[in-house]
Every structure is written in structure tokens, then in C-alpha cells.
Chains A and B, each alone.
Chain A
Amino acid sequence: QKEVEQNSGPLSVPEGAIASLNCTYSDRGSQSFFWYRQYSGKSPELIMSIYSNGDKEDGRFTAQLNKASQYVSLLIRDSQPSDSATYLCAVTAFGNEKLTFGTGTRLTIIP
């Protein structure tokens, strides 16, 4: 089992709809969770971080964390063509300072 798993996609969502991206992790002791966006050929950029159970909202983005079920999700409201990118989930386990990345989900917003 991979430490951090994401559906590779591609995930296609109509413009204006809600895009839902999911990530599961295997280490129950994981404590820090991050979502990065990576445009093709570019480097990842941080869009959300979440550390406790529940929802965290930032503009059109909402991160949701459920430690009991070991998943973290990212919702993008009012999706725009500029949101088309690969979204990487990253997790840091307890006692481990290293980030482990998932393979990413490729999201395409259809105009």
C-alpha cells in the first residue's frame, strides 16, 4: 500500500462546478497535510495546509480532514479554466519531518 494515494485522473469538471479531489494516507500518526498545485512543466505551489479535523476555507478552496478515516480532500468551488493543473497531496507523519507526496490528480476544467 502506498503511503499517500490519489486518483491519478484525469478528472474533468465543467466550468463553474465544484471540483472534489481526494487523498488517503496510510500512517495513522500523520499530523500535517498540504495541497499543492502544479501546472504542466512548472514547480508545485502551496495552496492549502490543514492540521486538525474539519474544514478549512480559503477563497474558493476548502480543505477537509478526517483523521479517523485517514483522508484529506480539496474542494474547488466555481471552478475556472485556470484551475486546470495537477494537484498533489502531501503528508507529514508524527515524528517524521519529511513530506511524503502522492502521485497527484490531474484536473481539467471544461469551459
Chain B
Amino acid sequence: DGGITQSPKYLFRKEGQNVTLSCEQNLNHDAMYWYRQDPGQGLRLIYYSQIVNDFQKGDIAEGYSVSREKKESFPLTVTSAQKNPTAFYLCASSPTGKRHSPLHFGNGTRLTVT
């Protein structure tokens, strides 16, 4: 079955440690995205990539980094510079990355930093 796989589902880290969240898709979609969701808030865009080896900052990129070395993969690293990293992280993809192209989401990773 085609889809987007995020791993792990739950992740616990100590403050000051970097952590990498995995996102893999087998939908052959060009564009991939990372969103963050906090309780009572909408989804906020962290980074997005419309093509391999290229990505752009979203609205809240500070303290995060990404790479897009393969079309299928778009890992997100939460660095120790991110002030408030505990959140629900959602990876998404879309066929073209154009504005008419809807997003398909993975199941999310819930990160807790203590």
C-alpha cells in the first residue's frame, strides 16, 4: 500500500540532545512537508521541499534542520536550539507541491523533551 511512514510514533529525549524524526513516502510525490501541532493550535509549517536536494524554510524553521537527498525521504532534526520542542510532528507529501495539490499526512511522531 502506498503511504507516508513516520517513525517512531513516540519519542522521548532529554533537553539539549538533537533528535531526528524519520519520514518516508512511497507515493512518488514530488513535495514533502513538516508541520508541528501544539494543543489548541493549528498546524504550523516548519520546512518544505518541492524537489530533491532543495528545501525552504516555513514559518517556524528556527531550531530545526532537514535534508532531501532522496525523493522518498525527508528527515527532520530537532536541534537543542529549539526552545520548546515538545509537540506532535506531522510529515506530509503532495503530488506536485502546487497550490491545488492537497496534502497527504503520515501518522505523526509525538516528541516529548524533558
Contact = CB atoms under 8 A, between A and B. Distances in A.
Interface residues of B, number: 22
B107 A42 contact: yes
Q: Is chain B's interface secondary structure helix, strand, loop, or mixed overall?
A: loop
Nearest to A2: B42
B102 A34 contact: yes
A92 B99 CA distance: 6
Interface string B26-51: 00000000010000111111001010
Chain A interface residue number, banded:
20 to 34
A43 B103 contact: no
B100 A46 contact: no
A103 B40 contact: yes
Interface of B: 35, 40-45, 48, 50, 58, 90, 97-100, 102-108
Interface of A: 4, 8, 31-32, 34, 42-46, 49, 51, 88, 90, 92-94, 96-99, 101-104
